[in-house]
Amino acid sequence: MSIEFILFLVLGLIALSVIFLIKNPKRFIMAMIIVMAGWQGGYWLSYFELDIRFSHILIMILFMYCLVSHSNIRLRDRFAIGLLIPLSGMVICAIIAALGAANRGAALGGVLTFCLDYFLIVCIISTIEKPKDVVFLMNALLIALSFQVILALFQYRDIDFKIHIIDEISSRLVWWRMCGTFLHPNQFGMFLMFVLPFVFRYLIIAAINNKRGLTIITMIIFLFGGFALYTTQNRGSQFAMVVGLVITFVVDLFRIRTRIKKVLLGISVILLVLIGIAMFRYGDRIYYQYFEQSSNIYEQMEGRSALNQEAIPRIKASLPFGIGMSNYSSNIYEGYMVHNLYLLISAEIGVGIIFFVWILLYLIFQSIKLMRIDNIFIMNLGSACLATIIGFIISSWVGPDWFWANQVRMNFWIVTGIMIGTEKLWNRMKNQRLNSS
């Protein structure tokens, strides 16, 4: 009996016990999923060429519990129709592509992970029934980030710090680029890019509500998270996150009320001062990474551009439904991956790219919608999500991790799912107030 099987059994028993012993088991299990979403390790399914991870087991348990348990949320709302339609379109395209794929097992494995992703979205929305549920999940996100950052800092200071089940042997080849529990530093960088805008806005919310302890803790987590992003040397995620934060910051300066604007400016000034101090220690390395390594950057860009150009005729030849998920690097261009998410999706599920763009537009629309609501928490949550989506769109132009790295995609759905669930909660509370009046 393998250690993975024993751990799965123990985890499943804990989750089932929680359902019967804790007053609100949905929140607890969802928090476990958030913390464990970035972990490696699992039960390997050789035909599908994928790991069923610990977090997947929790998602399936929580999904079934959400369907049978009493809830104040309508079934239609739990399934988030705005995401269901385009995500279902991607799944259908992936299934059709899998039927003709050279490696059908891997292609069907990709379809399976997409289904688990949608179960995850349903679980998040079903968990958010009250405002305190949103706060609970945001705190779980802080815990997940803190765990990853602490682990990354250990790895940064001690290159021999390894944990077998969450750090694969191949990562020793790039030990100088920290990756927490993620398989590759670029994936860890994308996780930080997803989460840090939410931490920054959570910091603003804590400061506005005069919660000094939470403000200090959140600021420390944000700063250490930013340092962890620096250690990944993932220039795409670094640049994309800064762009996303700056755009939403400028929008808020021209839009929000004076008191919130003062807090936003004050927090930003403090962070810039602290970052400026840190630049005395690490400024030379950052300058070297971005400017003195220009020849290396150009070589990478030329190499990736060649891979992307190679993908275009293959995409045209495989339309309308592509070659199947997880088939490009294993069967078309062995050992290499298209370094552009949009090209990779087009290659593997063809016209499914249309549904993917639909999802991005839907998330942007929902983010802007929340930013216009006159509520400090909701407004900042919308700004955080918009910053994340902007960063994601930019970084995905040079990185395919969202599509083929399950850990990255799960964390993307977690942060956007919290936003969607909060928007549905707000609408439900607004309708209740109108009905009562």
pLDDT digits (tens, 9 = 90+) for 21-59: 777 889 989 999 999 999 877 777 888 888 888 889 899
Q: Is the pLDDT of residue 296 over 70?
A: no
* CA-CA-CA-CA torsion sign (223, 187, 179, 105): positive
Q: Is the pLDDT of residue 170 over 70?
A: no
Question: What is the per-residue pLDDT for 333?
Answer: 52
Question: What is the per-residue pLDDT for 70?
Answer: 82
- 190 touches 406 (CB < 8 A): no
Cβ-based neighbour number of residue 90 at 10 Å: 25
Most confident of 28-32, 60-64, 236-240, 387-391: 387-391
Adjacent-strand bridge partners of 51: 44
Would you report the helix, strand and coil content of the chain in percent, each value rounded to 5? 80, 0, 20
The overall pTM is greater than 0.85: yes
CA distance linking residue 182 with residue 223, whole number of Å? 20
CA distance linking residue 431 with residue 437, whole number of Å? 10
Question: Per-residue confidence at 428, pLDDT binned at 50, 70, 90?
Answer: confident
In tens, the pLDDT along 149-162 reads: 998 888 887 766 66
With a pLDDT cut of 70, the percent of the chain lying above it is: 85
Q: Is the pLDDT of residue 292 over 60?
A: no
Residues sharing a CB contact under 8 Å with residue 321, sequence separation 6 or more, in sequence order:
93, 96, 97, 100, 349, 350, 351, 352
In tens, the pLDDT along 298-346 reads: 556 665 677 777 778 888 888 899 999 988 876 555 556 788 899 999 9
Q: Is the pLDDT of residue 217 over 80?
A: yes
The number of angstroms, rounded, from the C-alpha of 232 to the middle of its chain's C-alpha atoms is 16
CA distance linking residue 78 with residue 87, whole number of Å? 15
Smallest CA-to-CA distance from 243 within 142, 393, 380, 100 is with 393
> Between the CA of residue 54 and those of 19, 21, 34, 152, 228, what are the distances in Å?
17, 21, 11, 21, 25
Question: What is the per-residue pLDDT for 174?
Answer: 45
Q: If you count them, how many residues does the chain have? A: 437
CA-based R_g, the chain, Å: 21
The per-residue pLDDT of the chain, averaged, comes to: 84
First and final C-alpha spacing in the chain:
61
Smallest CA-to-CA distance from 64 within 15, 129, 23, 112 is with 15
Least confident of 178-187, 277-286, 355-364: 277-286
Q: Is the pLDDT of residue 169 over 50?
A: no
Question: What is the per-residue pLDDT for 175?
Answer: 46
In tens, the pLDDT along 199-210 reads: 999 999 999 988
> Between the CA of residue 252 and those of 205, 304, 322, 387, what are the distances in Å?
14, 36, 41, 12
Q: Is the pLDDT of residue 106 over 70?
A: yes
Question: Per-residue confidence at 364, pLDDT binned at 50, 70, 90?
Answer: very high
Q: Say which residue, 166 or 214, is predicted with more confidence.
A: 214
Q: Is the pLDDT of residue 386 over 60?
A: yes
For the chain, how many helices (H) and strands (E)?
17, 2
- 100 touches 40 (CB < 8 A): no
